[in-house]
Amino acid sequence: MLILISDDNYDFCSTVAEIVQGFGYETHMVHTPEDTINYVDKFSKRVSALLLDIEFGPDTNMNGIDVLEYCRKNHPFVPVVMVTGKGTIETAVKATKLGAVNFIEKSLVSAEKLKEVLSSAISLPEHKDKSEILQFLRANGIIGNSEQILDLGYSIVRFGRTDLNVLITGETGTGKKLVAQALHSASRRAKKPFVIVDIPNIPKELFQSELFGHIKGAYTGAITNKEGLFQRANGGTIFLDEIGELNFELQASLLNPIEEKIIRRIGSSENEEVDVRIISATDKDLSAMVSQGLFRSQLYHRLRECEIYVPPLRERKEDIPELVQFYLTKFNIESGRAKFFSPSAIEFLQEQPWPGNVRELINTIRIVSEYTEKDTIEIPDLRKFLGKEDDSEHEAFLPPITSGGDIKSDIEKVEKLKIEKTLESCNGNVSKAAAILGVSRETLHNKIRKYGINPNFYRKRS
Protein backbone atom coordinates (compact mmCIF):
# COMPACT_ATOMS: atom_id res chain seq x y z
CA MET A 1 0.00 0.00 0.00
CA LEU A 2 1.27 3.45 -0.95
CA ILE A 3 0.77 6.59 1.13
CA LEU A 4 1.18 9.85 -0.80
CA ILE A 5 2.51 12.69 1.39
CA SER A 6 1.96 16.21 0.09
CA ASP A 7 3.54 19.09 2.01
CA ASP A 8 5.86 21.97 1.10
CA ASN A 9 7.92 21.37 4.25
CA TYR A 10 10.58 18.86 3.13
CA ASP A 11 11.71 17.99 6.65
CA PHE A 12 8.14 17.31 7.80
CA CYS A 13 7.55 15.12 4.75
CA SER A 14 10.67 13.09 5.45
CA THR A 15 9.80 12.63 9.12
CA VAL A 16 6.27 11.48 8.32
CA ALA A 17 7.56 9.19 5.56
CA GLU A 18 9.95 7.46 7.98
CA ILE A 19 7.15 6.87 10.49
CA VAL A 20 4.75 5.59 7.84
CA GLN A 21 7.37 3.28 6.34
CA GLY A 22 7.77 1.78 9.79
CA PHE A 23 4.15 0.58 9.53
CA GLY A 24 5.06 -1.36 6.39
CA TYR A 25 3.61 1.13 3.89
CA GLU A 26 5.35 2.42 0.78
CA THR A 27 5.54 6.24 0.58
CA HIS A 28 5.94 8.91 -2.06
CA MET A 29 6.48 12.63 -1.36
CA VAL A 30 5.31 15.64 -3.38
CA HIS A 31 5.64 19.29 -2.42
CA THR A 32 3.18 21.33 -4.50
CA PRO A 33 -0.55 21.11 -5.22
CA GLU A 34 0.17 20.75 -8.93
CA ASP A 35 2.54 17.81 -8.41
CA THR A 36 -0.02 16.19 -6.09
CA ILE A 37 -2.74 16.35 -8.73
CA ASN A 38 -0.40 15.07 -11.44
CA TYR A 39 0.67 12.10 -9.32
CA VAL A 40 -2.88 11.17 -8.33
CA ASP A 41 -3.96 11.43 -11.99
CA LYS A 42 -1.27 8.96 -13.00
CA PHE A 43 -1.28 6.57 -10.06
CA SER A 44 -4.67 6.87 -8.34
CA LYS A 45 -5.13 3.08 -8.29
CA ARG A 46 -1.89 2.71 -6.33
CA VAL A 47 -2.55 5.45 -3.76
CA SER A 48 -4.10 3.96 -0.61
CA ALA A 49 -4.32 7.36 1.15
CA LEU A 50 -3.24 10.95 0.64
CA LEU A 51 -1.81 12.98 3.55
CA LEU A 52 -2.44 16.51 2.27
CA ASP A 53 -1.26 19.81 3.72
CA ILE A 54 -3.75 22.70 3.68
CA GLU A 55 -1.38 25.64 3.24
CA PHE A 56 1.36 25.73 0.61
CA GLY A 57 3.97 28.38 -0.15
CA PRO A 58 3.66 31.59 -2.21
CA ASP A 59 4.79 29.94 -5.45
CA THR A 60 1.37 28.46 -6.15
CA ASN A 61 -2.15 29.78 -6.49
CA MET A 62 -3.62 26.54 -5.15
CA ASN A 63 -4.01 25.16 -1.65
CA GLY A 64 -4.91 21.81 -0.12
CA ILE A 65 -8.66 22.50 -0.32
CA ASP A 66 -8.33 22.92 -4.09
CA VAL A 67 -6.55 19.56 -4.32
CA LEU A 68 -9.18 17.94 -2.11
CA GLU A 69 -12.02 19.20 -4.31
CA TYR A 70 -10.21 17.93 -7.41
CA CYS A 71 -9.64 14.50 -5.87
CA ARG A 72 -13.21 14.13 -4.62
CA LYS A 73 -14.50 14.94 -8.11
CA ASN A 74 -12.01 12.96 -10.18
CA HIS A 75 -10.67 10.27 -7.81
CA PRO A 76 -13.40 9.73 -5.19
CA PHE A 77 -11.95 6.43 -3.95
CA VAL A 78 -8.66 7.99 -2.84
CA PRO A 79 -9.06 8.72 0.92
CA VAL A 80 -7.72 12.18 1.82
CA VAL A 81 -6.46 13.11 5.29
CA MET A 82 -5.84 16.84 5.73
CA VAL A 83 -2.74 17.97 7.62
CA THR A 84 -3.29 21.27 9.40
CA GLY A 85 -0.98 23.75 11.05
CA LYS A 86 -1.81 26.38 13.62
CA GLY A 87 -4.63 28.67 12.52
CA THR A 88 -6.13 26.38 9.88
CA ILE A 89 -8.26 24.14 12.11
CA GLU A 90 -11.54 25.74 11.00
CA THR A 91 -10.52 25.20 7.39
CA ALA A 92 -9.77 21.56 8.17
CA VAL A 93 -13.21 21.12 9.72
CA LYS A 94 -14.76 22.50 6.53
CA ALA A 95 -12.60 20.08 4.55
CA THR A 96 -14.26 17.11 6.20
CA LYS A 97 -17.58 18.41 4.89
CA LEU A 98 -16.04 18.53 1.41
CA GLY A 99 -15.07 14.87 1.63
CA ALA A 100 -11.82 14.58 3.59
CA VAL A 101 -11.97 11.43 5.70
CA ASN A 102 -10.14 13.07 8.58
CA PHE A 103 -7.63 15.72 9.56
CA ILE A 104 -4.59 15.68 11.82
CA GLU A 105 -2.76 18.61 13.39
CA LYS A 106 0.98 18.89 12.75
CA SER A 107 1.60 19.65 16.40
CA LEU A 108 -0.15 16.40 17.39
CA VAL A 109 1.49 14.12 14.82
CA SER A 110 2.87 10.97 16.45
CA ALA A 111 3.48 7.41 15.34
CA GLU A 112 0.41 6.19 17.26
CA LYS A 113 -1.88 8.89 15.88
CA LEU A 114 -0.65 8.43 12.30
CA LYS A 115 -1.11 4.68 12.47
CA GLU A 116 -4.69 4.93 13.69
CA VAL A 117 -5.67 7.69 11.26
CA LEU A 118 -4.16 5.88 8.28
CA SER A 119 -5.63 2.53 9.28
CA SER A 120 -9.03 4.19 9.46
CA ALA A 121 -8.59 5.99 6.13
CA ILE A 122 -7.52 2.97 4.09
CA SER A 123 -10.19 0.69 5.52
CA LEU A 124 -12.81 2.28 3.24
CA PRO A 125 -15.09 -0.65 2.39
CA GLU A 126 -14.84 -0.24 -1.40
CA HIS A 127 -15.34 -3.96 -1.83
CA LYS A 128 -18.74 -3.82 -0.21
CA ASP A 129 -21.72 -3.77 -2.53
CA LYS A 130 -23.82 -0.60 -2.37
CA SER A 131 -26.85 -2.63 -1.35
CA GLU A 132 -24.90 -4.14 1.54
CA ILE A 133 -24.05 -0.69 2.92
CA LEU A 134 -27.64 0.53 2.50
CA GLN A 135 -28.97 -2.62 4.15
CA PHE A 136 -26.67 -2.02 7.12
CA LEU A 137 -27.91 1.56 7.40
CA ARG A 138 -31.54 0.52 7.14
CA ALA A 139 -31.04 -2.03 9.91
CA ASN A 140 -29.90 0.89 12.06
CA GLY A 141 -32.84 3.13 11.15
CA ILE A 142 -31.00 5.27 8.57
CA ILE A 143 -33.22 5.30 5.49
CA GLY A 144 -32.33 6.36 1.94
CA ASN A 145 -30.33 5.42 -1.13
CA SER A 146 -28.82 8.76 -2.21
CA GLU A 147 -25.10 9.27 -2.75
CA GLN A 148 -25.01 11.33 0.45
CA ILE A 149 -26.44 8.42 2.44
CA LEU A 150 -24.05 5.97 0.79
CA ASP A 151 -21.09 8.21 1.70
CA LEU A 152 -22.44 8.40 5.24
CA GLY A 153 -22.58 4.60 5.36
CA TYR A 154 -19.00 4.27 4.19
CA SER A 155 -17.88 6.70 6.91
CA ILE A 156 -19.80 4.82 9.60
CA VAL A 157 -18.30 1.46 8.62
CA ARG A 158 -14.82 2.92 8.22
CA PHE A 159 -14.75 4.72 11.57
CA GLY A 160 -16.83 2.10 13.33
CA ARG A 161 -13.99 -0.39 12.95
CA THR A 162 -11.64 1.85 14.93
CA ASP A 163 -11.57 3.10 18.50
CA LEU A 164 -11.17 6.71 17.38
CA ASN A 165 -13.40 9.21 19.14
CA VAL A 166 -16.02 10.48 16.67
CA LEU A 167 -17.72 13.86 16.57
CA ILE A 168 -21.02 13.76 14.67
CA THR A 169 -22.12 17.13 13.29
CA GLY A 170 -25.23 18.27 11.47
CA GLU A 171 -28.43 20.22 11.88
CA THR A 172 -31.10 19.30 14.40
CA GLY A 173 -33.31 16.43 13.30
CA THR A 174 -30.88 14.88 10.81
CA GLY A 175 -30.46 11.62 12.76
CA LYS A 176 -27.16 12.06 14.60
CA LYS A 177 -28.24 9.67 17.38
CA LEU A 178 -28.95 6.96 14.80
CA VAL A 179 -25.49 7.49 13.32
CA ALA A 180 -23.97 7.09 16.81
CA GLN A 181 -25.86 3.82 17.33
CA ALA A 182 -24.77 2.59 13.90
CA LEU A 183 -21.13 3.39 14.72
CA HIS A 184 -21.48 1.31 17.87
CA SER A 185 -23.07 -1.60 16.00
CA ALA A 186 -20.24 -1.54 13.42
CA SER A 187 -17.57 -1.66 16.13
CA ARG A 188 -15.90 -4.43 18.10
CA ARG A 189 -17.92 -3.14 21.07
CA ALA A 190 -21.30 -3.92 19.48
CA LYS A 191 -22.26 -6.49 22.13
CA LYS A 192 -21.28 -4.17 24.99
CA PRO A 193 -23.35 -1.26 26.41
CA PHE A 194 -24.29 1.82 24.39
CA VAL A 195 -24.93 4.52 26.98
CA ILE A 196 -26.50 7.87 26.06
CA VAL A 197 -25.64 11.03 27.99
CA ASP A 198 -28.35 13.63 27.35
CA ILE A 199 -26.22 16.70 28.13
CA PRO A 200 -28.95 19.42 28.20
CA ASN A 201 -31.15 17.49 30.62
CA ILE A 202 -28.53 16.87 33.32
CA PRO A 203 -28.58 19.61 36.00
CA LYS A 204 -25.22 21.34 36.36
CA GLU A 205 -24.88 20.42 40.03
CA LEU A 206 -25.49 16.70 39.30
CA PHE A 207 -23.35 16.40 36.19
CA GLN A 208 -20.25 14.80 37.73
CA SER A 209 -22.30 12.48 39.91
CA GLU A 210 -24.34 11.33 36.91
CA LEU A 211 -21.27 10.69 34.76
CA PHE A 212 -18.75 9.40 37.28
CA GLY A 213 -20.86 8.26 40.23
CA HIS A 214 -20.40 8.97 43.94
CA ILE A 215 -19.77 7.12 47.18
CA LYS A 216 -22.09 6.98 50.15
CA GLY A 217 -21.89 10.16 52.22
CA ALA A 218 -20.18 12.19 49.48
CA TYR A 219 -22.78 14.91 49.95
CA THR A 220 -26.17 15.41 51.55
CA GLY A 221 -28.57 12.92 50.04
CA ALA A 222 -25.89 10.45 48.88
CA ILE A 223 -27.23 7.59 50.99
CA THR A 224 -25.72 4.81 48.86
CA ASN A 225 -22.86 4.30 46.44
CA LYS A 226 -23.83 5.25 42.90
CA GLU A 227 -22.47 3.98 39.60
CA GLY A 228 -22.00 6.67 36.94
CA LEU A 229 -22.72 6.51 33.22
CA PHE A 230 -19.03 5.99 32.42
CA GLN A 231 -18.99 2.85 34.58
CA ARG A 232 -22.17 1.59 32.93
CA ALA A 233 -20.58 2.04 29.52
CA ASN A 234 -17.42 0.13 30.47
CA GLY A 235 -16.33 -2.04 27.54
CA GLY A 236 -18.77 -0.27 25.22
CA THR A 237 -19.59 3.18 23.90
CA ILE A 238 -20.66 6.37 25.65
CA PHE A 239 -22.59 8.86 23.52
CA LEU A 240 -22.39 12.52 24.58
CA ASP A 241 -25.47 13.96 22.89
CA GLU A 242 -25.67 17.75 22.36
CA ILE A 243 -22.10 18.21 23.62
CA GLY A 244 -22.16 21.85 22.51
CA GLU A 245 -24.62 22.58 25.32
CA LEU A 246 -22.16 21.59 28.06
CA ASN A 247 -21.31 24.33 30.52
CA PHE A 248 -17.78 25.70 29.98
CA GLU A 249 -16.67 25.02 33.56
CA LEU A 250 -17.89 21.42 33.40
CA GLN A 251 -16.05 20.74 30.14
CA ALA A 252 -12.78 20.37 32.04
CA SER A 253 -14.19 17.43 34.01
CA LEU A 254 -14.25 15.34 30.81
CA LEU A 255 -10.61 15.85 29.81
CA ASN A 256 -8.96 13.13 31.90
CA PRO A 257 -11.74 10.54 31.56
CA ILE A 258 -11.52 10.84 27.78
CA GLU A 259 -7.74 11.05 27.49
CA GLU A 260 -6.62 8.71 30.27
CA LYS A 261 -9.74 6.50 30.56
CA ILE A 262 -9.63 7.11 34.32
CA ILE A 263 -12.45 8.44 36.48
CA ARG A 264 -12.99 9.13 40.18
CA ARG A 265 -16.33 8.99 41.95
CA ILE A 266 -17.34 12.06 43.92
CA GLY A 267 -16.12 11.67 47.49
CA SER A 268 -13.64 8.92 46.60
CA SER A 269 -9.84 9.08 46.64
CA GLU A 270 -9.46 6.08 44.34
CA ASN A 271 -9.21 6.12 40.55
CA GLU A 272 -11.14 3.66 38.40
CA GLU A 273 -10.16 2.59 34.91
CA VAL A 274 -12.89 2.50 32.27
CA ASP A 275 -12.64 1.16 28.73
CA VAL A 276 -15.02 3.31 26.72
CA ARG A 277 -15.18 4.67 23.18
CA ILE A 278 -16.43 8.28 23.00
CA ILE A 279 -18.94 9.41 20.41
CA SER A 280 -20.40 12.90 20.65
CA ALA A 281 -22.85 14.93 18.61
CA THR A 282 -23.77 18.57 18.15
CA ASP A 283 -25.68 20.90 15.85
CA LYS A 284 -23.35 23.75 16.82
CA ASP A 285 -20.11 24.88 15.17
CA LEU A 286 -17.66 23.80 17.89
CA SER A 287 -14.61 25.16 16.06
CA ALA A 288 -16.23 28.61 16.07
CA MET A 289 -17.10 28.18 19.75
CA VAL A 290 -13.44 27.37 20.44
CA SER A 291 -12.42 30.62 18.70
CA GLN A 292 -14.99 32.52 20.77
CA GLY A 293 -13.77 30.99 24.04
CA LEU A 294 -17.03 29.09 24.58
CA PHE A 295 -15.65 25.59 24.16
CA ARG A 296 -12.33 24.21 25.40
CA SER A 297 -9.83 23.56 22.65
CA GLN A 298 -8.36 20.54 24.48
CA LEU A 299 -11.77 18.90 24.76
CA TYR A 300 -12.66 19.64 21.15
CA HIS A 301 -9.55 17.88 19.88
CA ARG A 302 -10.02 14.91 22.20
CA LEU A 303 -13.60 14.46 21.03
CA ARG A 304 -12.90 15.07 17.36
CA GLU A 305 -10.34 12.45 16.35
CA CYS A 306 -12.56 12.09 13.32
CA GLU A 307 -15.81 13.71 12.20
CA ILE A 308 -18.96 12.51 10.47
CA TYR A 309 -21.18 15.15 8.94
CA VAL A 310 -24.86 14.20 8.58
CA PRO A 311 -26.41 16.05 5.60
CA PRO A 312 -29.72 17.90 5.97
CA LEU A 313 -32.81 16.48 4.29
CA ARG A 314 -32.96 19.32 1.77
CA GLU A 315 -29.66 18.04 0.32
CA ARG A 316 -31.01 14.51 -0.23
CA LYS A 317 -34.63 15.01 -1.23
CA GLU A 318 -34.49 11.92 -3.44
CA ASP A 319 -34.62 9.92 -0.17
CA ILE A 320 -38.01 11.36 0.82
CA PRO A 321 -40.19 8.77 -1.00
CA GLU A 322 -38.37 5.92 0.74
CA LEU A 323 -38.53 7.70 4.10
CA VAL A 324 -42.27 8.26 3.65
CA GLN A 325 -42.89 4.61 2.75
CA PHE A 326 -40.78 3.33 5.66
CA TYR A 327 -42.45 5.43 8.36
CA LEU A 328 -45.95 5.27 6.91
CA THR A 329 -45.71 1.47 6.97
CA LYS A 330 -44.58 1.67 10.60
CA PHE A 331 -47.48 3.95 11.60
CA ASN A 332 -49.98 1.85 9.63
CA ILE A 333 -48.92 -1.24 11.57
CA GLU A 334 -49.21 0.62 14.87
CA SER A 335 -52.67 1.99 14.07
CA GLY A 336 -54.05 -0.99 12.18
CA ARG A 337 -54.86 1.24 9.20
CA ALA A 338 -53.85 1.20 5.53
CA LYS A 339 -53.06 4.81 4.60
CA PHE A 340 -50.88 5.82 1.68
CA PHE A 341 -49.66 9.02 0.02
CA SER A 342 -50.61 9.87 -3.54
CA PRO A 343 -47.68 10.42 -5.97
CA SER A 344 -48.48 14.15 -6.12
CA ALA A 345 -48.45 14.33 -2.30
CA ILE A 346 -44.98 12.76 -2.20
CA GLU A 347 -43.78 15.26 -4.82
CA PHE A 348 -45.21 18.03 -2.65
CA LEU A 349 -43.23 16.71 0.32
CA GLN A 350 -40.07 16.74 -1.79
CA GLU A 351 -40.62 20.43 -2.56
CA GLN A 352 -40.64 21.46 1.12
CA PRO A 353 -37.55 22.95 2.86
CA TRP A 354 -37.78 20.75 6.00
CA PRO A 355 -35.94 22.97 8.49
CA GLY A 356 -36.56 20.27 11.10
CA ASN A 357 -35.11 17.66 8.72
CA VAL A 358 -36.01 13.97 9.07
CA ARG A 359 -37.52 14.47 12.51
CA GLU A 360 -39.94 17.04 11.11
CA LEU A 361 -40.82 14.79 8.17
CA ILE A 362 -41.51 11.84 10.50
CA ASN A 363 -43.75 14.00 12.70
CA THR A 364 -45.64 15.19 9.64
CA ILE A 365 -46.16 11.63 8.35
CA ARG A 366 -47.35 10.45 11.75
CA ILE A 367 -49.74 13.34 12.36
CA VAL A 368 -51.24 13.53 8.88
CA SER A 369 -51.78 9.77 8.77
CA GLU A 370 -53.45 9.88 12.17
CA TYR A 371 -55.76 12.84 11.54
CA THR A 372 -56.69 12.28 7.88
CA GLU A 373 -59.89 10.24 7.71
CA LYS A 374 -59.62 8.92 4.16
CA ASP A 375 -57.09 6.29 3.11
CA THR A 376 -55.35 8.33 0.41
CA ILE A 377 -53.43 11.36 1.64
CA GLU A 378 -53.42 14.21 -0.88
CA ILE A 379 -51.76 17.62 -1.16
CA PRO A 380 -54.65 19.52 0.53
CA ASP A 381 -54.28 17.23 3.57
CA LEU A 382 -50.59 18.06 3.77
CA ARG A 383 -51.20 21.77 3.29
CA LYS A 384 -53.57 21.69 6.22
CA PHE A 385 -51.07 20.10 8.59
CA LEU A 386 -48.03 22.00 7.30
CA GLY A 387 -49.82 25.33 7.77
CA LYS A 388 -49.63 26.21 4.05
CA GLU A 389 -53.33 26.56 3.26
CA ASP A 390 -53.33 30.32 2.74
CA ASP A 391 -50.57 32.82 3.39
CA SER A 392 -53.09 35.58 4.00
CA GLU A 393 -54.54 33.55 6.88
CA HIS A 394 -51.15 33.60 8.60
CA GLU A 395 -50.71 37.31 7.94
CA ALA A 396 -53.90 37.83 9.92
CA PHE A 397 -52.17 36.26 12.93
CA LEU A 398 -49.51 38.96 13.02
CA PRO A 399 -49.86 41.92 15.39
CA PRO A 400 -49.10 45.39 14.05
CA ILE A 401 -45.41 46.33 14.31
CA THR A 402 -44.84 49.96 15.09
CA SER A 403 -41.83 51.75 13.70
CA GLY A 404 -39.25 52.87 16.21
CA GLY A 405 -40.14 50.12 18.66
CA ASP A 406 -38.06 47.25 20.06
CA ILE A 407 -37.60 44.91 17.07
CA LYS A 408 -36.68 41.93 19.24
CA SER A 409 -39.81 42.45 21.33
CA ASP A 410 -41.97 42.71 18.20
CA ILE A 411 -40.51 39.50 16.80
CA GLU A 412 -41.19 37.70 20.07
CA LYS A 413 -44.80 38.93 20.04
CA VAL A 414 -45.23 37.56 16.53
CA GLU A 415 -43.63 34.26 17.50
CA LYS A 416 -45.77 33.88 20.61
CA LEU A 417 -48.97 34.66 18.71
CA LYS A 418 -48.06 32.21 15.94
CA ILE A 419 -47.50 29.45 18.50
CA GLU A 420 -50.80 30.22 20.22
CA LYS A 421 -52.73 30.21 16.93
CA THR A 422 -51.07 26.96 15.87
CA LEU A 423 -51.88 25.30 19.20
CA GLU A 424 -55.45 26.53 18.85
CA SER A 425 -55.73 24.98 15.36
CA CYS A 426 -54.23 21.72 16.71
CA ASN A 427 -56.49 21.48 19.74
CA GLY A 428 -53.47 21.97 22.03
CA ASN A 429 -51.52 19.04 20.52
CA VAL A 430 -47.86 20.06 20.96
CA SER A 431 -46.45 17.36 18.65
CA LYS A 432 -48.74 18.36 15.82
CA ALA A 433 -48.02 22.06 16.38
CA ALA A 434 -44.26 21.38 16.30
CA ALA A 435 -44.60 19.61 12.93
CA ILE A 436 -46.65 22.48 11.48
CA LEU A 437 -44.18 25.08 12.75
CA GLY A 438 -41.22 23.06 11.45
CA VAL A 439 -39.42 22.70 14.79
CA SER A 440 -38.69 19.80 17.11
CA ARG A 441 -41.06 19.01 19.97
CA GLU A 442 -38.29 19.92 22.44
CA THR A 443 -37.77 23.32 20.82
CA LEU A 444 -41.48 24.09 20.92
CA HIS A 445 -41.69 23.09 24.60
CA ASN A 446 -38.83 25.52 25.32
CA LYS A 447 -40.69 28.31 23.49
CA ILE A 448 -43.92 27.47 25.33
CA ARG A 449 -42.10 27.78 28.67
CA LYS A 450 -40.40 30.99 27.54
CA TYR A 451 -43.69 32.69 26.67
CA GLY A 452 -45.71 31.19 29.54
CA ILE A 453 -48.16 29.46 27.19
CA ASN A 454 -50.44 26.74 28.56
CA PRO A 455 -51.26 24.15 25.82
CA ASN A 456 -54.13 22.78 27.95
CA PHE A 457 -55.94 26.07 27.44
CA TYR A 458 -56.32 25.25 23.74
CA ARG A 459 -57.68 21.75 24.23
CA LYS A 460 -61.36 21.71 23.45
CA ARG A 461 -63.60 20.42 26.17
CA SER A 462 -66.08 17.73 25.11
CATH number at 357 reads 1.10.8.60
Residues 168 and 34 in one domain: no
Identity of the amino acid at 72: R
CATH number, domain of 13, equals: 3.40.50.2300
E strand or H helix that includes residue 183 = helix 176-185
The DSSP secondary structure of 94-159, one letter per residue, reads HHHHTT-SEEEEGGG--HHHHHHHHHHHTT--TTS-HHHHHHHHHHTT----SHHHHHHHHHHHHH
CA-closest candidate to residue 86, choices 53, 110, 59: 53
Instruction: Identify the three-state secondary structure at position 444.
Output: helix
Q: Which of 121, 153, 180 is the last residue of a domain?
A: 121
Domain of 101? 2-121
The DSSP secondary structure of 215-244, one letter per residue, reads -TTSSTT--S-B--HHHHTTTSEEEEETGG
Sign, Cα dihedral of 406, 409, 414, 415: positive
Burial of 108 (0-12, 13-18, 19+ CB in 10 A): exposed
CA-closest candidate to residue 179, choices 162, 157, 147: 157
Residues 58 and 147 in one domain: no
Q: Which of 100, 121, 142 is the last residue of a domain?
A: 121
Tell me what pLDDT residue 390 has.
47
Residues 338 and 436 in one domain: yes
Instruction: Identify the three-state secondary structure at position 415.
Output: helix
Whether residue 385 contacts residue 399, with contact meaning beta carbons closer than 8 Å, is answered with no
Tell me what pLDDT residue 32 has.
95
| Cβ neighbours for 309, distance < 8 A, ≥ 6 positions apart | 96, 97, 168, 169, 170
Whether residue 156 contacts residue 297, with contact meaning beta carbons closer than 8 Å, is answered with no
pLDDT tens-place values along the chain, 462 residues long: 899 999 999 999 999 999 999 999 999 999 999 999 999 999 988 999 999 999 898 889 999 999 998 887 778 778 899 988 766 667 777 777 677 888 888 888 889 889 888 887 876 555 456 888 898 999 999 999 999 999 899 889 878 877 889 999 999 999 999 999 999 999 889 999 999 999 999 999 899 999 999 888 777 777 788 889 999 999 999 999 999 999 999 999 999 999 889 999 988 888 999 999 999 999 999 999 999 999 999 999 999 988 899 999 999 999 999 999 999 999 999 888 889 999 999 999 999 999 889 999 998 998 888 888 889 999 988 887 776 554 433 333 334 444 444 545 656 777 788 888 888 888 888 888 887 777 777 788 888 988 889 888 887 654
Tell me what pLDDT residue 462 has.
44
Residues 338 and 297 in one domain: no
pTM above 0.85, yes or no: no
CATH number, domain of 172, equals: 3.40.50.300
Tell me what pLDDT residue 410 has.
55
Tell me what pLDDT residue 86 has.
65
Whether residue 6 contacts residue 52, with contact meaning beta carbons closer than 8 Å, is answered with yes
CA-closest candidate to residue 193, choices 229, 245, 146: 229
E strand or H helix that includes residue 353 = none
Residues 338 and 384 in one domain: yes
Q: Which of 278, 311, 344 is the last residue of a domain?
A: 311
Residues 93 and 157 in one domain: no
CA-closest candidate to residue 278, choices 199, 352, 335, 381: 199
Instruction: Identify the three-state secondary structure at position 276.
Output: coil
Residues 299 and 160 in one domain: yes
Residues 102 and 202 in one domain: no
Tell me what pLDDT residue 284 has.
93
